[in-house]
Amino acid sequence: MLPMRVAKRQEPLGYWGSCVVLSVALLLSLLLSAGMLAIRGTPPLEGILTLFRGAFGSPWALEDSILKAIPIYLCALGVAVAFRLKIWNIGAEGQFALGAIGATWVALSFPDWPKFALLPAMAAMACLCGGFWGLIPALLRQKFRANEIIVTLMLNYVAILFLDYLVYGVWKDPASFGFPMTPVFTDGAIVGKIGTSSINWGLAHCILLGLVIWVFFRFTRLGFEVKASGDNVRAARYAGLPYNRLVVLVLVISGALAGWAGFLEASATVHRLQPSIMVGYGYTAIVVAWLARLNPLAIGFAALLLAGLRVGVESLQLDLQVPAAFGGIIEGLVLLTVLAGGLFTHYRLVWRRPG
Amino acid sequence: MTFEILILLLAAAVQSGTPILYATLGEIFTEKSGVLNLGVEGTMILGALAGFVTARLTGSPLLGFFLAGVVGSLATSIHGVVCLIFQGNQVVSGLALTILGLGLANYLGTGYVGLSAPGFDPLPLPGLAAIPLLGPIFFRHDILVYCSYILVPLIWLFFTRTRLGLALRAVGEYPAAATAAGLSVAAHRWLGVLVGGFLMGLGGAYLSLAYTHLWTSNLTAGRGWIAVALVIFAFWRPGRAVFGAYLFGGIMALQLRLQATGTQVPSSILLMLPYLLTVLVLVFSSWRRGSGEAPAALGINEEPVD
Amino acid sequence: MKVLQVLAVLLLLVMAGTVQAAEKELKVGFVYVSPIGDAGYSYAHDVGRQAVEALDGVTTSYVESVPEGPDAERVMLNMARKGFDVIFATSFGYMDPMLKVAKQFPDIAFLHCSGFKMAENMGNYFGRMYQARYLSGMVAGAMTKSNILGYAAAFPIPEVIRGINAFTLGAQAVNPEATVRVVWTKTWYDPATEKEAAKSLLDVGADVIAQHQDSPGPQEAAEEKGVYSIGYNSDMAPFAPKAHLTAPIWKWGPYYVKVVEEVRQGNWKPESAWPGLAEGIVDLAPFGAMVPQDVRDRVTAKKAEIAAGKDTIFTGPIFDQSGAVKVAEGVAMTDAEMLSMSWFVKGVVGTTE
């Protein structure tokens, strides 16, 4: 018998209590990660410090982390919309790819359009394509009750191979020496940088779209229906909420947001489409969405944290020769500890009384 | 000539389906007890690394195979702790386990890439291997493939004929009723998680000890996820899992053979086939049976009792 | 007098300063596209890095798994800010990012592998692997009985396509009947898929397996089937002792050491370096015991010929898959044409997509 047992709280843990639990969970995951560093003979404290310095320790490091956080944020925002309804969209990666493909198609087809027309057209096409990639699992779930986890995941592989097919084939830049990449976009197709910083206007898109999603859940009837149905499917069905249509809605929104991220990544950072655009933002987004408890503002912080992790790991490699896979370890550990810490929202530990 | 290629293709289907089969059986075991574990991919790769390293250090592939299972159990025990003790969301916990497992295996395994280790080689079964048609397809593989042939009926018997197996299913279907009947839901779910993890670990080890005798980062290459999909395709039945795993292994082998015979279809399109097939198969099986075959309490945590 | 004293002191200080500068550790950075654990392409570069690391007064570091594009730019910027003196970027997609960074840091030597753009402080380099591929093709062509050679190929990029073409031309030089079947795996290091790809080639009758991926998976398949194989990157004989005929291999070390020494001496100038067999950056692994003496002699003679510059391999007439003349008689392909090769020569069965 364990000396402690769990007991239900009268009321869910408050704001400050949750912060304490979260901090303890993060600290625990960092400790475990430091242990992993020690196993390979890397000084753990120095390693963790290098990681943080590399991520947030200088102006340009911070800029890099913010840049990386942009696509992660949008993907995570999308994932969070679906998770609200307890629809497990693991397909942000594929929807991101489709968005990049859609935006690229517009950029390559109408290179002479002025910026004010071309960029919105690219964004719209990206949303359309990403949304379409979200629509497929939604329809398959609705018509055939096919599990959306598997369908969205398999569609990721398909989307990436489709992107490969395009850049290795029809879209290959004749000037690229046969390497798989499209021509560089024209100026009109590029989302520019904010002032003299290296951060692009995608940051503004994030804030705007984050606000839209927040308003959607906070103030619109549809948003309320999604939340209510997510909390209790059966009750929602009894109340006559159109559950099936909501599934389609959230997956399309989810896909469109990931598609927008793909548009930004192609337009603002890479300036072309190439296979290396796919670096797993869509999977990191799932971690981010869950860490932030699906809250648009918190997603911002979580996205920055995990983007910083990706950037910081590079310094860790450069200075201490730690393999790149270390980032995955921290990511997994953070998610697991925070998940476990969630117990304390509704429960507390009490000592067993002897006898 | 064409017929010969067909036989070879079917034999290849069996071999490339075997690691997926082990993993699928593991996930069936876990899900029967009511726990959804999406960490198959991460568990498999840890098993693959453990098996390879053990075989290299001790010279015994058999020991490596066994320890891969143990490490698989250790990996899924993380999922057990988070979901069964801390009541974490099973979907997210499984994903986290996959991320952690891939990171950990790639991190710890860097020093073992490009090295070779003793493994299992094909061992035609005397007599059986000579049977026309069936011999070359089923009985000219390594011993781990034959093990999987035995494992499938054993698991079926376990779930249909043994008291423990029935209890495990009860816990997955009606935890409340099981509790009322005096069964410990937590204990049985732990059993499901750990035995499932053991089998997933074995599936990973098949890749590094028999399919190839090599270790590398991302050796599993998405096979764990396919196993999760095949569980639904198999309606949680071991027998159908065999069919699903070989079908999937077959399509993977087929797309490469189509290229080898000189087709003009771009390789990107051919490489999509296995994933598209998974979706199709899933849609078809869900449509026919719905999710009615799933353990009723799958993915739902039991509230801790005071 | 006083002025002279001051001058002398100043001179001494300056000299001490320069001496110190010479003694300063040279920092050399490498950017890899895949984990060095891939045991192949990046690993081969890393073996070269270790040769540099072994020099006195030089420290090296690397970042692996860097995606091509903006990530690469950030990594190189980081290296530059941390005071690296020489930066090697080893993948084609690093070209434009490196160019951007090079313009911001004129005092750092930048070297890009497999590209063509240059700057005042940025050169590029690559190795003529196709020369070694051609030789390995000769061996394969001589050893095949079915006249079907199997080629497990990685990604359809010029480097891989050029290798397949050179291999095919080499095989046809000794065996006009030889054809090469290509299977793309779209992987650099996935032993399971690559072994399966090799098996699929064996199933259609190939009896020599060559490969461009980095894993020894295809070698295992050949060994199990009891046929022959050609390795890649490094001597893969330990993985398939009975099958391994030879392997075209990389030896980056001497080149990296040469460049770093030049930078240290201060006489490095950016150039487009494409060394080959003559410089020893590519080579052929030792022949397996099964390769008969006459084949060895023939290949060794050809090797000397190529190293001496008497045979450039891609000299016409060369036909494409449809049989049309692609390179006219007596015309040699330019380096630029070779670097952007995206078509198969006659005798290759497969697509370039």
Do C63 and A169 lie within an 8 Å CB cutoff? no
How far, CA to CA in Å, does A88 sit from each of A79, A141, A234, B176? 8, 11, 18, 26
Q: Which chain C residue has the Cα nearest residue A65?
A: C74
Spatial separation of the C-alpha atoms in residues A176 and A165, rounded to whole Å? 16
C174, two tokens: 């000794």
Find the radius of gyration of the CA atoms of chain C.
23
Angle at C97 between CA C92 and CA C103, to 5 degrees: 125
Q: What is the pLDDT of residues A32-78, one digit of tens each?
A: 999 999 998 899 999 999 999 999 999 989 999 999 999 999 999 99
Higher pLDDT, C135 or A18: C135
In chain C, residues under CATH classification 3.40.50.2300 are 24-125+252-273, 129-247+285-349
CA distance C323 to chain B (A): 16
Res. A305: pLDDT tops 80: yes
Let me know: does B164 contact B187? Beta carbons within 8 Å. no
Place of tokens 């067909």: B6
Q: What CATH architecture does domain C129-247+285-349 belong to? A: 3-Layer(aba) Sandwich (3.40)
Residues 246-305 of A with CB under 8 A from C: 269-270, 274, 276-277, 279
Do C191 and B265 lie within an 8 Å CB cutoff? no
Spatial separation of the C-alpha atoms in residues C51 and B47, rounded to whole Å? 35
Q: What pLDDT was estimated at residue C215?
A: 85
Chain B hits for C35, CB-CB cut-off 8 Å, are 106, 110, 113, 217
Q: What pLDDT was estimated at residue C298?
A: 95
Q: C301: how many CB neighbours lie within 10 A of its CB? A: 10
Q: What pLDDT was estimated at residue C18?
A: 46
CA distance C16 to chain B (A): 43
CA distance B170 to chain C (A): 39
Chain C hits for A325, CB-CB cut-off 8 Å, are 35
CA distance A88 to chain B (A): 8
Chain B hits for A140, CB-CB cut-off 8 Å, are 279, 283
Place of tokens 């046969």: A178
CA distance C125 to chain A (A): 15
Q: What is the pLDDT of residues A254-296, one digit of tens each?
A: 999 999 999 999 999 989 999 889 988 998 999 899 999 899 9
Do A150 and B96 lie within an 8 Å CB cutoff? no
Q: Which CATH number fits domain C24-125+252-273: 3.40.50.10800, 3.30.450.40, 3.40.50.2300, 3.40.640.10?
A: 3.40.50.2300
C205, two tokens: 């009758």
Does C100 lie at the interface with A, CB-CB under 8 angstroms? no
> Domains in chain B, please, with CATH?
2-293 (1.10.3470)
Does A144 lie at the interface with B, CB-CB under 8 angstroms? yes
**pLDDT tens across the length of chain C (353 residues):** 455 565 555 555 554 444 444 457 899 999 998 877 666 788 889 999 999 999 999 999 999 888 888 889 989 999 999 999 999 999 888 998 999 999 999 999 999 998 888 999 999 999 999 999 999 999 999 999 999 999 999 888 888 999 999 999 999 999 999 999 999 988 877 888 899 999 999 999 999 999 998 888 999 999 999 999 999 988 888 889 999 999 999 999 999 999 999 999 999 999 998 999 999 899 999 999 999 999 999 999 999 999 998 888 999 899 999 999 999 998 999 888 888 888 999 999 988 87
> Alpha carbon B160 to chain centroid distance?
21
Residues 6+ apart with CB under 8 A from C16: none
Point out the residue among C189, C201, C351 whose CB comes nearest to the CB of B216. Answer: C189
Do B219 and C191 lie within an 8 Å CB cutoff? yes
Point out the residue among B12, B218, B264 whose CB comes nearest to the CB of C351. Answer: B264
Chain C hits for B216, CB-CB cut-off 8 Å, are 37-39, 189-191, 215
Confidence of residue B292 (pLDDT cuts 50, 70, 90): low
Spatial separation of the C-alpha atoms in residues A10 and A13, rounded to whole Å? 9
Q: Which chain B residue has the Cα nearest residue A163?
A: B268
Do C69 and A269 lie within an 8 Å CB cutoff? yes
CA distance C37 to chain A (A): 9
Using DSSP bridges, classify how beta strands C58-63 and C244-246 pair: parallel, antiparallel or unpaired. Answer: unpaired
Do B110 and A323 lie within an 8 Å CB cutoff? yes
Using DSSP bridges, classify how beta strands C86-89 and C26-31 pair: parallel, antiparallel or unpaired. Answer: parallel
State the best of C43, C194, C196 to mutate against chain B, taking most chain B CBs within 10 Å.
Answer: C196
**What residues of B are in the C interface, CB distance below 8 Å?**
5, 8-9, 12, 16, 106, 109-110, 113-114, 116, 121-122, 207, 211-214, 216-219, 221, 252-253, 256-257, 259-268, 271
Which among A131, A105, A68 is positioned nearest to A279, based on CA atoms? A68
Confidence of residue A297 (pLDDT cuts 50, 70, 90): very high
Q: What is the pLDDT of residues C77-112, one digit of tens each?
A: 999 999 999 999 998 889 989 999 999 999 999 999
Chain C hits for A180, CB-CB cut-off 8 Å, are 155-157
Point out the residue among B89, B102, B104 whose CB comes nearest to the CB of A339. Answer: B89
Does B92 lie at the interface with A, CB-CB under 8 angstroms? yes
Res. B157: pLDDT tops 90: yes
State the best of A66, A172, A177, A278 to mutate against chain C, taking most chain C CBs within 10 Å.
Answer: A177
CA distance B116 to chain C (A): 7
Place of tokens 């590398």: B216
What are the sequence ranges of the domains in chain A? 41-322
Point out the residue among C201, C215, C353 whose CB comes nearest to the CB of B260. Answer: C201
Q: What pLDDT was estimated at residue C9?
A: 56
Q: What pLDDT was estimated at residue C222?
A: 95
Q: What pLDDT was estimated at residue C283?
A: 93
Q: Which chain A residue has the Cα nearest residue C80?
A: A318
Does B102 lie at the interface with A, CB-CB under 8 angstroms? yes
Q: C221: how many CB neighbours lie within 10 A of its CB? A: 27
Q: What pTM did the predictor assign? A: 0.90
Tell which phi-psi region holds residue C57, choosing left (phi > 0), alpha (psi between -120 and 50) or beta: left
CA distance C317 to chain B (A): 25
Q: Which chain A residue has the Cα nearest residue C60?
A: A318
Which among B94, B6, B48, B60 is positioned nearest to B200, based on CA atoms? B48
Using DSSP bridges, classify how beta strands C122-125 and C109-113 pair: parallel, antiparallel or unpaired. Answer: parallel
Let me know: does C89 contact C99? Beta carbons within 8 Å. no
Q: Which chain A residue has the Cα nearest residue C34?
A: A324
Do C74 and A64 lie within an 8 Å CB cutoff? yes
- Using DSSP, state whether C89 is helix, strand or coil: strand
Residues 264-293 of B with CB under 8 A from A: 266, 268-269, 271-272, 275-276, 278-279, 282-284, 286-287, 290-291
* Topology (CATH level 3) of domain A41-322: ABC transporter involved in vitamin B12 uptake, BtuC (1.10.3470)
Which among A77, A71, A89 is positioned nearest to A138, based on CA atoms? A89
Spatial separation of the C-alpha atoms in residues A333 and A329, rounded to whole Å? 6
Point out the residue among A149, A323, A340 whose CB comes nearest to the CB of B82. Answer: A340
Spatial separation of the C-alpha atoms in residues C243 and C237, rounded to whole Å? 8
Q: What is the pLDDT of residues B251-279, one digit of tens each?
A: 888 888 888 888 888 888 888 888 898 89
Do A269 and C64 lie within an 8 Å CB cutoff? no
Q: Which chain C residue has the Cα nearest residue B122?
A: C224
Chain C hits for B262, CB-CB cut-off 8 Å, are 181, 349-350
Q: What pLDDT was estimated at residue C69?
A: 80
Higher pLDDT, A227 or C21: A227
CA distance C299 to chain A (A): 30
Chain B hits for A159, CB-CB cut-off 8 Å, are none
